[in-house]
Amino acid sequence: MPGDATAYFANPVVVFTGGITSLNVDGFSLGTSTIINTSGNIYHWQAFGNAYSSEKYSGAADFATGVYYGNGINNRNITDMPFQPDFVAVKANSATAGAFRTSAAVGDLTSSFGATAEAAGQIKALSANGFQVGTSTISNASGVLYGWFAFKQSANFVVGSYAGSASAQQIATGFWPDSVWVKNTTAVGAVQHPSTLAGDNTQAFLNVANSAGMITGFTATGFSVGTNASANTSGATYRYAAWRVPPNGSLTVGFVDNAGTPIATPSFGFPNRPMISNCTESVGTFGSSSQRIRIANMSANDRWSLALEATDGPLATWSNSGNTQQFDFNDIFGTQSGCSDGSDGDDLAGKLRIEPSTMTLAAQNGCSTSGISLGSDANYNEGIADSLTLLTAGAGTNIECYWDMYNMTMRQTVPGLQAPDTYSLDLTLTVTSF
């Protein structure tokens, strides 16, 4: 709507001034209306940018806005967009409530934002380049100005329907949403849950307080609903629309404690042992419940791999603090593998084996480990296996999620008569998208 004009979605009142007074290059401006700017109140907002403009013939290929004057003629086509919409909402500049229609609706039926059942004659159909309206005053009263906005389904927006069950259930959207709108097809008001709203809280489009048991949370693949009639009554049909902010983060790996606090200098060890004449194997763990390896994928790419290698490369060794004593980590030579020096770049024996099959891998709440495979148990072998894969995420793995891995078994073969001391070997984790 042009100028200083703000509309209610659900309440049948005229647009008002002093609310959202302008849309700016980097946000929006507020007036002094107590509806949207009361001192001390918390407000949640959602904004969509780069809308297609029929005046400039430019903008998004999946989001458009516009206005039209009603003429009261049935089957009128509004054809101002460069795509076939899956969601259209209209609101008159008069004392009528707003309404919306999705491509999941059947027949000539439109949903109200208020506590009104689906009705005919409003937004009658969605077409190849717009939508069709009937004669209802909701969408086409003669001489009345209407504002509309429309979305096309994409990687960041979906619409659908689901059947109420009166038992908590999950609704699939294919991504982790940032905003979900839900409307019962009967005379129950529409509700919405933005990602900025914490916990089991849902906002109504009508002027009522937040409530629980409706849209109860988001997951990596959709949203959950409780048992409130606004979102999940047995036998009812519900229309929904879900948006996400396009992923624009990165793929990272780091170390955290069991509370998720980053750890700057993690360390993992093997048990103390005396000097032993024979070549022996020492067993330790990489990662623990208090020192977890966290992989976070906030990018749009679902495929990645995690590998572990010696920080100083294949010529690195286990060394004491003065670097006067060493043994190897990647020499598999010997009747007992790792117990003799082979034809590598040093004269040291020793072999490190990692066993990804033993690790614990846990997804954050709402995410899944589906699509992530564990690497093969393997030995480091100079020049052949300098880097070993711990995890591989394939197509369909959740994005905008994180996973913690820990308790992976490591086995180090220590040469006979190795001098007692404290030895260290720096290792580097690398996560790579592909």
pLDDT tens for each residue of 393-418: 999 999 999 999 999 999 999 999 99
DSSP reduced 3-state for 350? strand
Mean pLDDT over the full length of the chain: 96
292 and 398 fall within a common domain: yes
Encode pLDDT of 91-136 as tens digits: 999 999 999 999 999 999 999 999 999 999 999 999 999 999 999 9
214 and 297 fall within a common domain: no
334 found inside a domain: yes
Give the residue from 222, 243, 264 where a domain finishes: 243
114 and 145 fall within a common domain: yes
Over pLDDT 70: what percentage of the chain?
A: 100
pLDDT at 210 over 90: yes
Q: CB-based contacts of 244: which residues, under 8 Å, 6+ apart?
A: 156, 157, 175, 176, 177, 178, 179, 400
Encode pLDDT of 308-338 as tens digits: 999 999 999 999 999 999 999 999 999 899 9
- CA 249/CA 289 separation, integer angstroms: 26
Q: What are phi and psi of 268, to 5 degrees?
A: -135, 145
**CA distances (Å), 317 to each of 95, 269, 329, in order?**
78, 15, 6
For residue 412, what are the β-bridge partners? 282, 352
207 and 264 fall within a common domain: no
8 found inside a domain: no
**CA distances (Å), 303 to each of 361, 375, 399, in order?**
17, 15, 9
210 and 280 fall within a common domain: no
4 found inside a domain: no
Nearest CA among 209, 155, 210, 214 for reference residue 183: 214
Q: What are phi and psi of 334, to 5 degrees?
A: 120, 155
Q: Which amino acid appears at position 194 of this protein?
A: P
**Number of helices followed by number of strands (H, E) in the chain:** 0, 33
What is the band of 162 on the pLDDT scale with cuts at 50, 70, 90? very high
User: Which tokens go with 259?
Assistant: 């509370």
392 found inside a domain: yes
Over pLDDT 90: what percentage of the chain?
A: 95
pLDDT at 236 over 90: yes
424 and 313 fall within a common domain: yes
231 and 321 fall within a common domain: no
5 found inside a domain: no
What is the residue range of 93's domain? 20-243
What is the band of 2 on the pLDDT scale with cuts at 50, 70, 90? confident
198 and 226 fall within a common domain: yes
At 217 the pLDDT is 95
pLDDT at 50 over 80: yes
For residue 175, what are the β-bridge partners? none
117 found inside a domain: yes
**Cα 170 from chain centroid (whole Å):** 16
